[in-house]
Amino acid sequence: MTTKTKTTTLRNSFLLLLTAAIWGFAFVAQSIGMNYVGGFTFNAARFLIGAAVLLPVILFMDRKEKPAAVPAPGGESSLLLKGGLTCGVFLCIASNLQQFGIKYTTVGKAGFITACYIVLVPILGLFLKRKCTPLIWGAVFLALCGLYLLCITDGLSINTGDILVMGCALFFSFQILSVDHYSPLVSGVKLSFLQFLVSGILSAIPAVLFESPSLSSLMAAWQPVLYAGVLSCGVAYTLQIIGQKGLNPTVASLIMSLESCISAIAGWIILGQMLSGREILGCGVMFAAIVLAQLPWKPGTAAGLQLQE
C-alpha cells in the first residue's frame, strides 16, 4: 500500500467516523425536537431540508458530468423515480416509527435497537436468494440476547418505545435492500434526494391532519430540525458517499456502526439518560452482534451488506 493510498484510507475512515458521530447525535436532536413539534412534523421538516441541501450538490454534479452521446430514452429516469418512491416510502415508515419510539425510550437504547438492521438485512436477503453465513446466524443469536437484556424487564414486559424502534429497524432493513438494488443503476445522490423528498412529503400529510404544525413551533425547534435536516440528512449522506469510495465495505460498515455507541454517549452527556448495568450489558452484546455480522466469512466475501442511512 502506497503512502498516498494509506493517506486516502485514513482520510476516508475519518469521514465515516464523522458520519457516525453526526448520526449518533441526531438521536438527541430527534428527542429534543419532540418537545416542540410532533413527530410527523419533525420528520417532514428534516427530510425536506435534507432534500434541499442535496439539490445544489446534484446541480454541481450535473455541470461536471459530460452528456452521453446518445441518451437512453427515459430508462434511468424511470428507474430513479421508482427507486426514489420505494426507498422514500420505507424511509418514511422507518423514520416515523423511530421518531415516536424515541419519545418512550432512551436515545441510547434506540440507537442500538435501530442498529439491528445490520443483522436483519442479510436475513431478509434470504428471500432474495442471497446466502447467509454461519456468522450471521451467530450475530442473530447475539442480537436476540442483547435485545432481551435491553428491552425485556424482570416482569417479562417491553415498553412501547422499544417495540416502535424494533419496527423501525425492520423497515430500515427494507430501505437498505431497496437502496442496494437501485443505487448501482442510478445516481446515488439523486436517489437520496428523491427518497428524502418522498419521505418529507409523506410525513407532511399526517402532520397536517393530526398535528396542526405552525411556523412558530418549527422556529422554536429550529436547532434540532436544522441539525437533523442539514447535518444528519444532507451532510452526513454526502460524507458517506465520499468516505466509502475505495474503502473496504466491511471496514466502512464497522466504522459507521459506531453510530449506536455514540448515540448512547450523546444521550448520557446531553440528556442525562443513564443506562442500567443490565442495559449496558445489552448494548455490549448488541455491538458484538453488529461486529460479527460484518466479519468476512471467506476471503473477499463480507458476511453482511453495506450500511446505508
Residue 209 lies in a domain: yes
The three-class DSSP label of residue 129 is coil
pLDDT of 306 reads: 42
Domain that holds residue 52: 3-64+73-294
Average pLDDT over residues 109-118: 84
The tens digit of pLDDT for each residue in 17-71 reads 898 899 889 999 999 999 999 999 999 999 999 999 999 888 888 787 655 444 4
CB-based contact 286:260 (threshold 8 Å): yes
The tens digit of pLDDT for each residue in 194-253 reads 999 999 999 999 999 999 889 999 999 999 999 999 999 888 877 887 787 767 666 677
The tens digit of pLDDT for each residue in 274-300 reads 888 888 888 888 888 878 877 776 645
Residue 261 lies in a domain: yes
- What are the C-alpha distances in Å from 283 to residues 112, 114, 246, 306? 6, 12, 30, 21
Question: How many domains are there within the chain?
Answer: 1
pLDDT of 256 reads: 79
Average pLDDT, the chain: 83
pLDDT of 307 reads: 40
Residue 308 lies in a domain: no
Residue 304 lies in a domain: no
pLDDT of 155 reads: 64
Residue 177 has pLDDT above 80, yes or no: yes
Q: What pTM was computed for the model?
A: 0.82
